[in-house]
Amino acid sequence: MRSIRRRSAIVLAGLALIAAAPAANVQAGERQAVAAHSCSAGYTHATLSWGHKCLRAGQFCKRGVSANREYHRYDFHCKRSGRLTYH
């Protein structure tokens, strides 16, 4: 009787490990995807609501209050001219 319980516990523990393995791989893959997106020297990587961007002063930018809030997180500001400057 005791050996049946022990075998059941081992089988359940094994199934739990097998079920957890794909979730661990997905999380590692997500980290690699973020790390794989890098910017050249002189650019700042930004995660904005409309996507990942490499920001640099002088580039064209999305104008508007909500866009500027996002740019400000990365110390940039979008001028009326439609160009990025350092905030």
Do the Cβ atoms of 51 and 23 come closer than 8 Å? Answer: no
Provide, rounded to the nearest whole percent, the portion of the chain with pLDDT above 70: 63
| Of 63, 61, 64, residue with least CA distance to 84 | 61
18-33 pLDDT, tens digit each: 766 665 555 555 544 5
Q: Which amino acid is at 27?
A: Q
| Of 61, 49, 66, 57, residue with least CA distance to 87 | 57
Residue 51 reports pLDDT greater than 90 = yes
Domain spans in the chain, listed from the N-terminal domain onward: 1-36, 40-87
Q: Is the pTM of this model over 0.75?
A: no
User: Across the strands, what pairs with 44?
Assistant: 55
